[in-house]
Amino acid sequence: MTRLSVNINKVATLRNARGENVPDVVKFAEDCEKFGAEGITVHPRPDGRHITFDDVVKLKEIVTTEFNIEGYPSKEFMELVLKVKPTQVTLVPDPPGALTSNDGWDTVVNQVALKNICSILRENNIRSSIFVNPRGEMVVGAANAGADRVELYTKPYADLYREDREFAIAPYIEAATVAREAGLGLNAGHDLNLENLAYFAEMIPWLDEVSIGHALISDALYYGIEDTIRRYKEELKH
């Protein structure tokens, strides 16, 4: 069954607004696992505007499920992940000042660099996942770079879901099929929510993992985090 990894960046954003430790990011991660999350995702950025490098080190000590660290593979980022050694590192092509991840890697143009990074991660027993747009050639490029998985960027799917969900899902089924044929694991993330998640998982039943943050934390304002995690996991069962 598809695993649910909860991205807790927005919890850190709320904490940072007051400069204190409320809410407690580490305690929140522990509770997410207690309520059924099968992974914790963080995306530390150079400006520390939400999850900080220090948070990542503390979270490593308490996360008992899969720990997924997303980020651009800068020198500082790579030093952090090699120190922490999470379950998985998801490589994203964000420039330092990006508000959010909004595009996948060109795995052909960046083949050599990505291959070197995936090799370093493999040598340290860290699973590598490359964030890509739903295009077969980008998936093949990730496989050629030695990645263990790809994460499909799902915002275009979410944007088109209400208008025409069959049209919206089509490129993702194609890209997911290429990934399976290439022997890659498959993750997905960005703007997946309680409205569009079940259909995505139903149409791509070999999906390994989804990482969801913004929508899930927003839903928790209404339902509470325990009930929200339960709802998302129910959607993944369809």
Distance, CA of 137 to CA of 120 (rounded, Å): 23
Phi, psi of 129 (to 5 degrees): -135, 135
Amino acid (1-letter code) at residue 54: D
Q: In sequence order, what are the residues at sequence separation of 6 or more whose Cβ sits closer than 8 angstroms to the Cβ of residue 67?
A: 39, 40, 59, 60, 84, 86, 87, 88
Q: In sequence order, what are the residues at sequence separation of 6 or more whose Cβ sits closer than 8 angstroms to the Cβ of residue 229?
A: 4, 6, 32, 35, 36, 37, 216
Token pair 């980022």: residue: 77
Catalytically active residues are 43, 70, 190
